[in-house]
Structure 1
Amino acid sequence: MNKKLIVKILGIILLIEAAFMLPSLIISFYMKDSSNKGFLVAMSILIVLFLATRFIKIKDYTLAPLDGLFIVGFSWILVSIFGAIPLYINTELDFISSFFEIVSGFTTTGASVIGNIESYPKSVVFWRSITHWIGGMGILVFTVSILPRLGVGGFQIYKAESPGPVAGKIQSTTARSGKILYRIYLLITLIIFLALIATKMSVFDAAIHTFGVTGTGGFSSHNDSLTRYGTPTIVVLSIAMFICATNFNVYFLIYKRKFKEILNNDELKMWFLFIGIAVLSIAICLFNNGYGSFSLSLRDSALQVTSVSSTSGFANTDFDLWPSFAKTLLFLLYFMGGCAGSTAGGLKVVRITVLYKLVKREIKKTIHPKAVVPIRLNGKNLSEQVVLGICAFTAVYFFVFCISTAIITLDGHDIRTSMSAVATFLSNVGPGFSKVGPTKNFAFFSSGYKLYFSFLMLLGRLEFFTLIALISPSNPKKELIKI
């Protein structure tokens, strides 16, 4: 393990976090809200730690797979610890609650322990929300775009960080991939921000909700989330969440005018199909149960379906009061999530697509035992190793889901609260049902549970195997395959 290089890269990541705190510090001074102390303390610590790593002399600039896993795992933990300092100093939250809130921000979960966000300084609200934007694309994807300046190849980090079963690269080099992804990310951010301004949303609120949408997070600047906004804003946000939960490689293919590859994208087809069926089914269900006009039913259905499936977690109504059929469909979308290569969480549509093809193959082989039926994705055969990895990931996901649900029920909570809480953390969605519904929060849980929930959010964001590999007693020299 290249310990010196790992520490040096972690120092760079901490410096980047300090740089992202600067806008909040400027807002604090401008608003004179007396919250600058928290940002100054946090930034000072981060800069000192970075400077301490500058004196480390590196002889070997190569990174092994395990090195990449350590960098990814520890960086997410470190940025969350130091990112919690401004909340801890500037609010009434204890440190564990502050840590939970910032982990929720960086992992783009959007679950909160704050019930009076409108009373908080705007600089703190801004920092809380910009963590969504940072975590959405991943601070590490940004990092690998600058590592070549150190003579470091960043693919092992990129591979461990990238969401989805296959860590594909848009371009031939990882650094170039990172830069292209961030250009797309910045363009989408700007478009959404301007679109929200056009709906007459205030500049501050537009910025906060843009961070939440592009990062598929869900933090709002208002206690009631999106309930105060009209149809134009709801439509813009619904479209924006769908866009941000779509594989970003699709946008690169659009730029390159490779429309044939887009039309042959199996995940994209399944993504449109799932969302279309869910929106229409819930809209019909709401309308048949007296939910005003069909247009209103369709609007609210589209918002909540795209919000949950993109794992953004925004709400413009209390969907916990919806009919059971509508709530059941939403709960299933918690597990699905968005597309691989997007800012969304969940199992990812591509894994569900492959599992569907696997079931079809096994049925066919039951009828024709000697048939050789490869599983194809986007016109290419998938290796059995990738298929096995997807099965393993799904098995681990639901094993953790079941065990964690049981752990929460030990505290006396009902099954709906427990199941939806675990699902929302593992898939990084935000609100759940019952006691953790869209009009409630997670403040009533004990500190021990908040730490456990933080662990679940990190597990979901890093797709299990990155963190599991770090605490595994297995031989560290063994090559670990990202699945």
Structure 2
Amino acid sequence: MNQLNIKIIISFLGLTSMLNGVFMLIAVPFSIYHKEEAQWGILYAGLTTIALGFTLWFTNRKAKKNLGKKEGYIIVTLGWLMLSFTGTLPYVFTNTIPQFTDAFFETISGYSTTGSSILTDIESMPKGILFWRSATHWIGGMGIIVLTVAILPLLGIGGMQLFMAEAPGPSADKMHPRITETAKRLWLIYFSLTFTEFFLLKIAGMTWFDAINHAMATMSTGGFSTKNSSIAYYNNAPLIQYIITAFMFVAGANFVLTYFALKGKIRKVFKSEEFKYYFFGVIGFTLVLTIIILNYRDPNLVTSIHHPEPYGKIESAFRHAAFQVVSVLTTTGFVSADFTMWSSIGTMLMFSLFFIGGSAGSTSGGVKIVRHIIIIKNSILEFKKLLHPHAILPVRYDGAGIQQNIVFNILSFFVLYMGIFIVSSVILAIFGLDFISAMGAAASSLGNIGPAVGTVSPVDNFSHLSIPAKWTCSFLMLIGRLELFTVLILLTPFFWKKN
């Protein structure tokens, strides 16, 4: 291979750091408005991050503009690490999360849109820090890399390699043939939906501060809340929960389909196999869990977190079932009730959603629905091939044949995903978690979900994990967010070999 363009890699990391620092400074006015001492720590963190980024960019600004696939993988992985390490500075400088391991865990949980937290009293945190915490979700949701791709042409750099590394899922849909235009339109949709949800939540009764934070966390499918009890705090405000449920559903759908829907091409949306499985899957799981909830009359088994309400009413049962199904399926991780109390069957159904995920081309994590569809179709074809060994039977998706190499890639992804889940569960058990909690933490971190089962259930958090366990979960969040291959390929010896 040609020599790696190290300077363009460093230059890009500098640009990423500068943008991250600018986002930090946006949090300063929130601290000033609430007259918080934290304003200075956030300000210093933002300026430090910008200065670091400017130094890296300025000293390498004359680098050659050629950007290959290998540079793309390195930039995306190191870019996310750069975001995560510099993103800890507001927590550390304000002394709100003084321990670096905890600060890094909270930060990468934000950028990866996982939503797992080590904070035990969220409502006591400074408002500026809470805004920054939600902002890490929003930045990571669509990807700071895609945002930067939109301005790379101004620097004379092509962005296709970065976009493919940032979003390596099986969907090849593009809204526009030019990658820059695609990135811009993605961000326009993302911003517009976030603002719309903010407006609706404010009308529904949230404070403007809570509305903007929850809107950012919803559209990024992140799950950080400004309340200790998450969305269970609003159990007496059903409209708020319905609004969040609707926007979680939209955020978990393919953004290309959202673009078509906004253009009025509704038929194209419902022609998508993945969307149909997504839509009817949500309905099916919701109805089953509604029945399960209604069959439990003991309030101790079905009470919501800190804010109990009667579950005997069909509306209440349906609302919480729908909310939790959409929250877990889209890997958002908001909580309106402790789903681990919905009987062993209900808990198992919810845990199974950990391994499904949302749609390809969305901000959600997990395996993704389209991969499951193709795996199932390929498995059915294998039975047919036993009867007709000489027949050519391609896997078909949305009416078109799928190339065999894509099928192999999806099968490899699934095997690797499940293998990492098993190995990381064992590792977390070695680091002190019990069997159920280890599996829950591994599945939640790898799938970027948030609350899990065991001692990391919706009524608990990750603060009690040992330091090695927190770093293990942090690594799982990173590779899960970048869909395994983007990060893991850097750990292979052949990636670094010269051709």
Q: TM-score range by the shorter chain?
A: over 0.9
Looking at structure 1, the residues matched to 62 and 432 of structure 2 have their Cα atoms a distance apart, in angstroms, of 53
Summarize deviations over 1:311-336 as a string: whole Å, max 9, x none: 11111111121111111111111111
1:66–1:477 CA contact under 8 A, matched in 2: no
Asked if 1:12 is matched to 2:15, the reply is yes
- Secondary structure at 1:451 match in 2: helix
Aligned to 1:251: 258
Letter in 2 for 1:84: T
Moved more, 163-172 or 194-203: 163-172
Please point out which of 5, 12, 18 is paired with 1:2. 5
Give identity over the alignment, percent.
38
2:431–2:466 CA contact under 8 A, matched in 1: no
Moved more, 394-403 or 2-11: 2-11
Looking at structure 1, the residues matched to 463 and 418 of structure 2 have their Cα atoms a distance apart, in angstroms, of 26
1:286–1:322 CA contact under 8 A, matched in 2: yes
Aligned to 1:122: 127
What are the residue-to-residue correspondences of 1:31-70 with 2, within 5 Å?
Answer: 31-52=34-55, 53-58=57-62, 60-70=64-74
**Per-residue deviation at 1:255?**
3.7
1:163–1:342 CA contact under 8 A, matched in 2: no
- Secondary structure at 2:494 match in 1: coil
**Per-residue deviation at 1:57?**
4.5
**Per-residue deviation at 1:259?**
4.0
**Per-residue deviation at 1:276?**
1.2
Letter in 2 for 1:282: L
**Per-residue deviation at 1:49?**
2.0
Summarize deviations over 1:51-77 as a string: whole Å, max 9, x none: 222132435212111100011000101
**Per-residue deviation at 1:175?**
0.7
Distance 1:330 1:54, change over 3 A: same
Moved more, 156-165 or 429-438: 156-165
Summarize deviations over 1:193-241 as a string: whole Å, max 9, x none: 1111121111111111111100001111011111121211111111111
Looking at structure 2, the residues matched to 232 and 46 of structure 1 have their Cα atoms a distance apart, in angstroms, of 40
**Per-residue deviation at 1:258?**
3.8
**Per-residue deviation at 1:413?**
2.4
2:45–2:93 CA contact under 8 A, matched in 1: no
Aligned to 1:73: 77
Please point out which of 144, 147, 154 is paired with 2:149. 144
1:226–1:315 CA contact under 8 A, matched in 2: yes
Please point out which of 229, 233, 241 is paired with 1:228. 233
Looking at structure 1, the residues matched to 287 and 53 of structure 2 have their Cα atoms a distance apart, in angstroms, of 52
1:215–1:343 CA contact under 8 A, matched in 2: yes
Letter in 2 for 1:64: G
2:250–2:258 CA contact under 8 A, matched in 1: no
Asked if 1:264 is matched to 2:271, the reply is yes
- Secondary structure at 2:355 match in 1: helix
Please point out which of 277, 289, 293 is paired with 1:286. 293
2:340–2:346 CA contact under 8 A, matched in 1: no
Looking at structure 1, the residues matched to 97 and 187 of structure 2 have their Cα atoms a distance apart, in angstroms, of 35
1:409–1:415 CA contact under 8 A, matched in 2: yes
Moved more, 125-134 or 263-272: 263-272
Summarize deviations over 1:298-351 as a string: whole Å, max 9, x none: 111000000000111111111121111111111111111100100100000110
- Which 5+ residue runs of structure 1 have no aligned equivalent? none
Aligned to 1:339: 359
Please point out which of 391, 397, 406 is paired with 1:371. 391
Calculate the aligned-residue CA RMSD, in Å. Answer: 1.5
Please point out which of 81, 86, 89 is paired with 1:85. 89
Please point out which of 191, 195, 203 is paired with 1:186. 191
2:371–2:410 CA contact under 8 A, matched in 1: yes
Letter in 2 for 1:212: A
Summarize deviations over 1:20-71 as a string: whole Å, max 9, x none: 1122112122222111232223222222223222132435212111100011
Asked if 1:362 is matched to 2:375, the reply is no
Moved more, 14-23 or 54-63: 54-63
- Which 5+ residue runs of structure 2 have no aligned equivalent? 298-310
Letter in 2 for 1:422: A
Letter in 2 for 1:108: T
Aligned to 1:322: 342
Distance 1:237 1:154, change over 3 A: same
Looking at structure 2, the residues matched to 432 and 216 of structure 1 have their Cα atoms a distance apart, in angstroms, of 16
- Secondary structure at 2:277 match in 1: helix
What are the residue-to-residue correspondences of 1:386-397 with 2, within 5 Å?
Answer: 386-397=406-417
